Structure 1
Amino acid sequence: MLFDLPSHDTLYAALLARDPAYDGRAYVCVSSTGVFCRLTCPARKPKSENCTFFASIGDCIEAGYRACKRCHPMAPAAESDPAIAALLSALDERPDIRWSERHVAQMGFDLSTVRRSFKRQFGMTFLEMARQRRLREGFEALSSGEKVIDAQHSASFESPSAFRAAFARLLGCAPADLHQGGLLCADWITSPLGDLIAVSSASHLHLLEFVERKALPRELSRLRDFAKGDLGLGRYAPTDQVEAELRMFFAGKGAKFNIPLAFHGTPFTKDVWHALCDIPAGETRTYSELAKAMGRPAATRAVARANGANQIALLVPCHRVLGADGALTGYGGGLWRKQKLIEIERQYTKGRAHDPS
């Protein structure tokens, strides 16, 4: 896992040196290209600020990165399992196929065996991997200004209705409803814990959510209403800033975010979100402790509801709030992400402990 790896600087030096000692033990995700590589990759070396390091291929895939075609980081897993090798090869060779269980069965593979193999190696099923790739390619095509029909073909959807339905599930609207630019702009960014949708205006970040969060379509609909329909594709400076600051955060170089945030909620809800931002990285609170800190000790349940309504993940750290017994509870991005975030942030607690100031 990320927090068990050597420091970012150590791993970046190993990347520059193509140190074989880290082969299979660490991988680098490059935000400028969207690919992940072995540290021994012969490709031109990226800048340090564009690199995030992980201990497993599964973490790289969950973060939305594609395997490098020069160093083939997924090759060892494929070599150890003929089914994985055949399916990964087919996925690359036939991007036009809308993969289903029928296609897997037609290749002669047992569905349950394939599902277990991919889950074990990559943390997701083959069909989940294929669907994520298609949706991202469609979103990127639209963001670059392509027509809906061209984006549909780029994403390998057989019909406009299927493409519209997939987009509606993700973003809560048809792709044709998302024009280029607008008062608010939505863009797709990657993180070590998975792909996110960021929505910003020219001056503030309004939303940051993991793409599979069930509440995302509803949240985007509210922002569309707020902007009187003027929500489009693209990015403003706050999206660039959050992408850069997230890289620093996951690299262990800083837990402070300086992006101006736009909160959309009741006065009480906004107070809860401000209180969340006051919890230092590496520390946690219970819902009742948060309510007491706000001077509202009887409002524990209301605080919990406001916590769950947060639509700016990571920056408004609702993951730092636990149940009364210290258990992980109620995180829209998934409890596994909440656990990883708490573990990652422990490095910042250690840093404060050794800070002589």
Structure 2
Amino acid sequence: MLITDNKKIETYYQALLERKQSFVGIFFVGVKTTLVFCIATCRARKPKKENVEFFTTFKDALDNGYRPCKVCKPTENANQAPEQIENAIKLIKKNPKVKITDYQLRQKGISPEVVRRWFKKNYGMTFQAYQRMYRINNAFQELKLGKNTTDTAFDTGYESLSGFGYTFKKLIGKSPNQSKGGNLILINRLTTPLGPMFVCATDNGVCLLEFVDRRMLETEFKDLQKLLSANIISGENEHIKQVKKEIKKYFDGTRKSFEVQLVTPGTDFQNSAWKCLQEIEYGTTTTYQEQAKKINNSKAIRAVASANGYNRISIIVPCHRVIGKDGKMTGYGGGIERKKWLIEHERNNASA
């Protein structure tokens, strides 16, 4: 949303001049003379007040024709986890079977209050809930490898089998004994120059990669859990680690194709459409009509567009490379401005 309140504009402009860290992510400032947008701490030369306008989200700035500043990288740095949060997450990963207390956080110089606020805002859950998911995921993996329930429960820090069983079933959807041959969808977060994304993966590969503000994202989560008969909980596996590395290289302009394994539950027609998307060369675009021809159904243009809309793995399954017959940018769940940015990014790096 464009900020029109004069008092806020004055406050934000002063914060921009003073490079106030506390305003990072609170506003995004568009510079009319350069058509770039920045965060409060940008080191670039400060524009005059009459040459700027303020937005509440980076998406609003993108939608109004501004592009991310190369100096402060607003969409990346505004959403990246602060150092205290990174340290708290590292603490969980190093001690996946231990409940991290507020006292332990303070001993490491981490504010429990800052951690709680950040997790609530960026994950929609408490830090303790995030911890429980990591501990239960660790237990789930050990049960699948044949470890007995009693040893797993007490080794994971639970004082009773009943407490472990209740939490396990609440998060996984099945009791510990019932889940030994089951599946689980792990979800994690990554930052990109176009904003934060969620990535989901099973033991078999990545099944979702979406911008966190994508419309109908909650519906996608529900559909995915139903299609794969598995619950989504916070965690990380090798596929998630791999996709983070590959996506970073993609945005750096050094990766043009992806090697990470994918899981794409859907109809035969949808999978044929998604396979066709993966065959569109980096740095090029095609139309829905051409895509329909390639899957031997030139009249199924609307069906192809619908299948593309159900694609849950953005960028890697590149539905952004499909445009209208008249050359117009149409139908992208992440937003038309992101689609334009991705196409331009690939064209600029195609020959590199």
TM-score range, shorter chain: 0.5 to 0.7
Q: 1:211–1:296: structure 2 CA closer, same or farther, 3 Å change rule?
A: same
- Distance in 2 (alpha carbons) for counterparts of 1:346 and 1:301: 27
Distance (Å, rounded) in 2 between the aligned partners of 1:148 and 1:300 = 55
Task: Name the CA shift for 1:267/1:139 in 2 (closer, same or farther; >3 Å).
Answer: farther
Percent identity of paired positions between Structure 1 and Structure 2: 29
Quick check: 1:252–1:348 contact (8 Å CA) kept in 2? yes
What code does the residue aligned with 1:84 have?
L
> Structure 1's 210 and 129: CA in aligned 2 closer, same or farther, altered over 3 A?
closer
Letter in 2 for 1:88: K
1:85-122 deviation digits (Å, cap 9, x = unpaired): 56835458xx9xxx89xxxxxxxxxxxx99x6444997
Q: Which residue of 2 aligns with 1:20?
A: none
After superposition, the Cα gap between the structure-2 partners of 1:84 and 1:330, relative to the gap in structure 1 and judged at 3 Å, is: same
Distance 1:297 1:305 in 2: 14
Query: Mapping of 1:1-357 within 5 angstroms?
Result: 81-85=13-17, 88-91=20-23, 117-119=53-55, 144=92, 153-155=113-115, 157=117, 163=120, 167=124, 178=133, 180=135, 181=137, 183-351=184-352
Partner-residue secondary structure (3-state), 2:233: strand
Shift of 1:167: 2.0
Distance 1:152 1:132, change over 3 A: farther
Amino acid at match of 1:314: I
Q: Flag the 1:123–1:222 CA change in 2: closer, same or farther, 3 A.
A: closer
The CA RMSD measured in Å over matched residues stands at 4.4
TM-score with structure 1 length normalisation?
A: 0.56
Select between 249-258 and 225-234 the one with higher mean Cα deviation. Answer: 225-234
**Which structure 1 residue ranges, 5 or more long, are not aligned?**
1-77, 101-112, 169-173, 352-357
Larger Rg: 2
Distance verdict in 2 for CA 1:237–1:133, change over 3 Å? closer
Hey, what does 1:11 align to over in structure 2?
none
Partner of 1:59: none
Separation in 2 of the partners of 1:89 and 1:250? Answer: 25
User: What's the TM-score once normalised by structure 2's chain length?
Assistant: 0.57
Partner AA of 1:230 in structure 2: N
Whether the aligned pair in 2 keeps the contact of 1:200 and 1:238 (CA below 8 Å) is yes
Mapped partners of 2:197, 2:222: distance in 1 = 17
CA distances 1:253-293 after superposition (whole Å, capped 9, x unpaired)? 22110111110211101110000000001111111111011
Distance in 1 (CA, whole Å) between partners of 2:265 and 2:57 is: 40
8 Å CA contact 1:185, 1:233 repeated in 2: yes
1:272 partner letter: A
CA–CA distance in structure 2, aligned partners of residues 140 and 205 of structure 1:
26
Separation of aligned partners in 2, 1:221 and 1:214? 14
Residue 350 of structure 1 aligns to a residue in which SS? Answer: coil
CA distance in 2, matches of 1:139, 1:230: 25
Q: Which amino acid letter does the alignment assign opposite residue 124 of structure 2? A: F
Query: For residues 129 and 208 of structure 1, what CA distance do their matches in structure 2 show?
Result: 16
Q: Distance in 2 between matches of 1:244 and 1:88?
A: 31
What is the alpha-carbon distance in structure 1 between the residues aligned to residue 251 and residue 76 of structure 2?
Answer: 23
The aligned amino acid for 1:223 is: L
Q: Give the count of matched residue pairs.
A: 246
Q: Deviation of residue 187 (structure 1)?
A: 0.6
Distance in 2, matches of 1:289 and 1:81, equals 48
Letter of the 1:310 partner, please give it.
N
* TM superposition shift of 1:165: 11
2:147 alignment counterpart:
none
Q: Give the C-alpha shift of residue 129 in structure 1.
A: 11
Separation of aligned partners in 1, 2:187 and 2:56: 33
**Cα gap change, 1:140/1:315 in structure 2, threshold over 3 Å: closer, same or farther?**
farther
CA distance in structure 1 between the partners assigned to 2:340 and 2:208 by the alignment: 22
Could you say if the C-alpha distance between residues 131 and 254 of structure 1 is closer, same or farther in structure 2, counting changes exceeding 3 Å?
closer
Report the CA distance between 1:301 and its aligned residue.
0.2
CA distance in 2, matches of 1:339, 1:132: 21
Equivalent residues of 1:84, 1:117 under 8 A apart = no
Pairwise CA distance, 1:249:
1.8
